[in-house]
Structure 1
Amino acid sequence: MKSFEKLVLGHLKDITDTVRIGFGSFVDKEMLPYVSQVKARRLNPCPNRIDTCQPAFSFRNVLPLTQDAREFEREVSKQLISGNLDAPEAGLDAIMQAAVCKDKIKWGNVTRILVYTSDDTFHMAGDGRLGGVFQPHNGQCHLNDNGTYDGKAFDYPSVGHVSRVLQDNNIQLIFAVTEDIYPAYKALSALIPQSVVGVLKNDSSNVVDLISEAYGNLSATLVLEQEGAPKELDISYRSTCKGNQLDSEWKEKGECQGIKHELITFNVRLNASACLTKPQTFRIKMKGINEEVKITVHTECDCDCGVPEEDSKHCSSNGILSCGACSCNEKFLGQRCECKQQTDADSTSKMQASCRPRNSSVTCSGHGSCECGKCMCQGHYSGKFCECDDSSCEYHDNKLCNGKGRCKCGKCVCSHDYTGPACHCSPSQDKCMNNNLLCSGQGKCTCNVCKCNEGFKGENCSAFTNECTPLKGCVACHVNAGTSDTNACAVKCLNATVSRLVGTHELRCTYGSSMSYDVKLGVDGKIVLQYADLPRSVDKTTLVIGISVSSIIFIGIIIIIIYRCLLELYDIREYQNFVKAQEQTNWKEAQNPLFKGATTTVYNPLHDKENEKDFESI
């Protein structure tokens, strides 16, 4: 069997030369309703008493980070499983302690990876109230001298709290969980930056490959963002990622995904909306990497612009140009001193009135200043009276006008052939195509989605809502008009191609009791209608009565035949029994010794007594 050093450290050393590894385990809070308080069950929480389990605990730092893989193997081999009453476990408690107990875990100032393995879900903030724990977690290290956290004093931490702590400590999280709970941890990973999820086999045989693959996915994404920036500074990024393609837009954070060994470049832009009272320092850093750049910003609000230019042409020869701005002479106004101030009060009020859409309204809608009878709008407002808010358009995918247009007076002006109120409709029509036809010729493609004409449905408008009803009048028209006046039926037939089939056919739709028809959509997008005569029908009442009577007679005959057959079989069996008994009778013909034949004596008086002996009768 391969040693753990060859399996785990061998894979990790392919990535980096310095590798340290530690081990911790978790169960749940040692209280009801999480862990049984029966003494026997606390000592051995295994469901089967034959097995041996160790008592439950919230979290235990079994082995701090070390380079000795054999020591790691020894400690892991000593561990016994444990158990709790409910399904969720104290996983977030364990992550919190592993992240904040830097000294006891012995985290170094290097890339930090936390691998979380489990076969069940996790408790979160609020679940502690079931056990009477109401105190929110304070985000501090609570490991005792034995490296154990009992968890009885504080509630489970929230997902947001865990996410912030991991980011503050530059820890990248890998969830290695079984397949049945994968969806729950996939949703959790979406809330924690710099985390990934992998499916762990039941026997954990793929844990090494899973960690290696997950680390590769983490290192393939770089996210650059700022911390501690003053509110007066607007910071944006443009990234040059794979293929040296520079982002076309400035974004709130710099991000590159799917990178391997490419050279990545980030451009950072600072915009100051106000003067800073003193130098401000903020940090720009990579998520999951303990490296950062500190930037100190000074704002120069009073510029040394050299000698002012009097009667400058830039100021309409009516002012002094200094530091790019005009200081107008007396009785002149405007950014370029192009407006002469009126001394007449009525003229001044007229000038102010021209900056209001209505006399009773606020000057320049409250979003600008009136100069020379014209509104000079501030910020993102525009229009004759600064009535248009150029940031009030619809958003799509958290982008103003989907990033595919510009906001003009509350409405998106789309570019690149995009349409829709938020420029969210792509000019592509690939999802509307069917047989090289747009929406099968029976609809319009809007936002790459088919809007079907009346009577049609389906993703590509290729199915009828009810093919029989709309064209029933068409069939009636053709049947009544015959073949001589088919043009009169074109309106009722919706310009369908109509043909009559030869012979009788039973099609899907029926018209009356003599006609049937079928409606299809042709490859050219046109409706195809075929109709034909129905097969001749018979009187169903007579047919039912005839079948019923015939069935009764037939069944009666069958019963008589069966009865006669059974009777004949009975007679044959009785005769055979008689013959057999007759054959078994034994008639004996020997003479009976007791039997004597009868003797008759006849006396003839005409003869003498001497002759009596001569007369004997047989």
Structure 2
Amino acid sequence: MYLIRRGYSSVSFGRTFIILVHVIIFTYSPPPLLYLHTCSFFQMDLKLLLISTLLGVICYSSAQQEGNECIKANAKSCGECIQVGAKCGWCMDPGFLKQGEATSTRCDELESLRKRGCSSTKVENPQGSQRALKNKAVTNRNKGEGKLRPEDITQVQPQKLTLSLRSGEPQSFNLKFKRAEDYPIDLYYLMDLSYSMKDDLENVKNLGTHLMLEMSKITTDFKIGFGSFVEKTVMPYISTTPSKLLNPCTGDQNCTSPFSYKNVLKLTSNGQEFNTLVGQQQISGNLDSPEGGFDAIMQVAVCGVSNMFLYHI
């Protein structure tokens, strides 16, 4: 401004003046402008920071409530509350609820109830438990010792437990198993004798002696039995035409009449008897693919094939 008032008007100087003006403006003007801009920017950032913080708090609070299964359950009673999950508790304090609060707000996470002023002694929070009703030690019986009755041998400990379970809370317990030496073993071979099992029947016919030999390495008290099944003897499982009831197979195949279940051999320690009776068995036939296996298993379980079989099955 001082140079302008002195009348410096030379073009060449004017260029220099213009340059100087620019330099002066650049040198002296920016600080206040930059300061004002910084202040405005700072004020704007402060507003954004406050808004962001407020939104963050709101979102966090909302997320907490959305993730709180106890509150979302809207439980109206203690029973409903404790079934929601293992983290939920019910405040029983009569003065816990504030004016206008719903009864369901008594149900909350344990830490939340504590922060809201509910004493731990006033919070209903049942825990699961377990109690062994029968816990007999496993039998230590060596091979060669005197034989025991099967019901006197214990291989699993404990034998009977009572568990009190709470929804969402796992319960664990130790289970001990020890296979008693020379423990009696009963094997009942239940076989499908429909035509598709023809090749397998030939293999089973020589199975008895081999099984007895192998099982003698494990126990001296081994018994084996044999049963067979085909299908329900009614339509649409089998053909009920008279000729097909006598021989359900086609062509020159000689098959036995269809049947539901047969107990061929009760449990025995005679492997040769197993081979003899199984060797006399004949294949039968039916119409549909599924065979009556579950019917046969049910009859074996309910009827039994020896006095002791039901105990072992």
Q: Does the alignment reach a TM-score above 0.5?
A: no
Which protein has the bigger helix share? 2
Q: Give the greater-gyration-radius structure (CA).
A: 1
Larger relative contact order (Cα-Cα within 8 Å, sequence gap ≥ 6): 2
